[in-house]
Amino acid sequence: MRRSHFVLILALFTLVTVIPLSAGPVFVNGLLIPGSSLDATGLPGANGGRFGFFSDIYYDIRLNQWWAISDRGPGGGLLNYETRLTRFAIYLNPVTGRISEFTPLETIKFTDPQGLLQGPGPALNGLNPLALNGYEGTLGHSFDPEGLVVDPWTHNFLVSDEYGPSLYEFDRQGRLIRIFEVPANLVPKAGGNVNYVALRDACPTPNVPFTPLCGANEGRQDNRGYEGLAISPDGSTLYAVLQDPLINEPPPNNGRNGRNVRIVVFDNNPASPTYTRNVAQYVYQLEPQADIAARINAIKPGNATATDPRQGRNIGVSAITAINDTQFLVLERDNRGIGVDDPSATNAVGSKRVYKIDITGATDVTNVALPIDALPAGVTAVTKSPTLIDLSANSLLPNSKQAEKWEGLAIGPKLANGDRMILTGNDNDYSVTQTGAGDQFDVYVDFAGNFARCILDDPTKCEVNPPASDLVIDNPVALPNGFSLLPGALHSYRVSPADLGTYVNPGTKKGVTSTN
């Protein structure tokens, strides 16, 4: 592979570590990728080709390809955006695991030319269902892709979506070819009606005519659908993980206080009578909020309370990837760190962690209502290791700032000494506000506690350090020197077989161990 000169324009920070034997996973180095970078479309602008880092990452070992998926686009579902994924290249030193030279190679947009979903036009769009379809109970072509795997036999893309929550299969041109079942207990509802946009908060008064934007009380929480996706090595089984507990577990609307997240299992074997159907659900338990709050307060006294970050809402799962048939890596995080919601990075970070889990012996809870914390008698959750990787232990951002949304997690190639490379990446929200109302703005930061909001794609019309409640640029000025869009970040780790476990390559038939 020819090394691209693109590396010369990247703000790269590389830290190489001498790796002792059996020392546990080791951070090798990382890359910072400017927030102004474009995907392979080359189209300018936030809503054109600005790269949306990294809602998920997948390494296709059979084709030696890296893929990154972008979510619903800039603006939190309020801007028209053609959803997509991008194949990229990085140079990986096969001895050290050091990465360099990030280059987008190919961008594929998701479409529905067969009309398998309701809605005009073929594009799958990042607009929320009410904005796109004019009705809160129609999902249509609204799409918020968050999890990605490649089928090892067909090489088709399998993508999990947060809006539905949905699970779709696309061919290599990004065309929708298959829709998986949506389990009934996950369907979002408000007042008994399917509602894909209702917030968890109660409507103002019961006597006011129903508004589609409030009163969610069943199914997945708003903006907390399938956040990650894994595939078994033989390709026969898919594992979609919700970001947080269901809103009604337990009722009324207490899921946002809970620890019990569902891993939803699907049959992906075309020869099976249950193909495309949900065949099991397992419990993954989030780290207790009190432990996370204690870490935060040790860094910044008083910065965390019993409800901030909120268990089951501001703490959640961002990614899952398979090690073998029963073991997985899971990325769990809080919502703290520098991002479009906290560009000053005023809050201390408590949790950006990767765990190893095992589903052996876990109880199928498809028909079991889950409580806030302790599980019902007879229910066994997936087993969960101590922290495998602490993503916050290393930072490439200036002034040791922490990225907010670590969402990409992939197991990469085997290195020369037998270790395996792991790649993680952040979601920078396109460095665009996610206010949910009004205009959306580019967000620039100086990593010293200052930020600016600018008219999209126009850094001559900005406001510096406006109040959070000020959603209008009243007195525009040119962007000061020293500010930049929030970058994408990649971290490379190397992990020994003793720590990772027996890794089985995707494309290995069941009963055969292949760990190349």
Give the ranges where 63-184 is alpha helix by DSSP (H). Answer: 129-133
Query: Residue 253: what pLDDT?
Result: 85
pLDDT in tens, 221-262: 999 999 999 999 999 999 999 999 999 999 888 999 999 999
3-state secondary structure 26-94: EEEEEEEECCCCECCCCCCCCCCCECCCCCEEEEECCCCEEEEECCCCCCCCCCCCECEEEEEEEEECC
E strand spans, 323-481: 327-334, 352-358, 383-384, 389-390, 405-414, 420-427, 441-445, 451-455, 458-464
E-assigned strands of 348-486? 352-358, 383-384, 389-390, 405-414, 420-427, 441-445, 451-455, 458-464, 484-485
pLDDT tens-digit map of 17-36:
333 444 789 999 999 999 99
Q: Does position 186 have pLDDT exceeding 70, yes or no? A: yes
Model confidence over 343-359: pLDDT tens digits? 999 999 999 999 999 99
pLDDT of residue 360: 98
What pLDDT does residue 22 have?
44
Q: Cβ distance 73 to 59 under 8 Å?
A: no
Amino acid identity of residue 433, one-letter, is T
pLDDT of 515: 66
Instruction: Report d(CA 34, CA 52) in Å as an integer.
Output: 11
**pLDDT tens per residue across span 395-431:** 999 999 999 999 999 999 999 999 999 999 999 999 9
510 — pLDDT class (breaks 50, 70, 90): confident
> In 3-state terms, what secondary structure has residue 118?
coil
- Domain positions in the chain are 5-500
CA dihedral sign, ordered 475, 450, 81, 6? positive
pLDDT at 21: 44
Q: What is the pLDDT of residue 404?
A: 97
The H-or-E segment that residue 291 falls in is: helix 289-299
Instruction: Give pLDDT, residue 511.
Output: 63
The per-residue pLDDT for range 455-470, each reduced to its tens digit, is 999 999 999 999 988 8
Q: Quote the pLDDT of residue 8.
A: 32
Contact 458, 468 (CB under 8 A): no
pTM value? 0.94
In eight-state DSSP terms, residue 296 is H
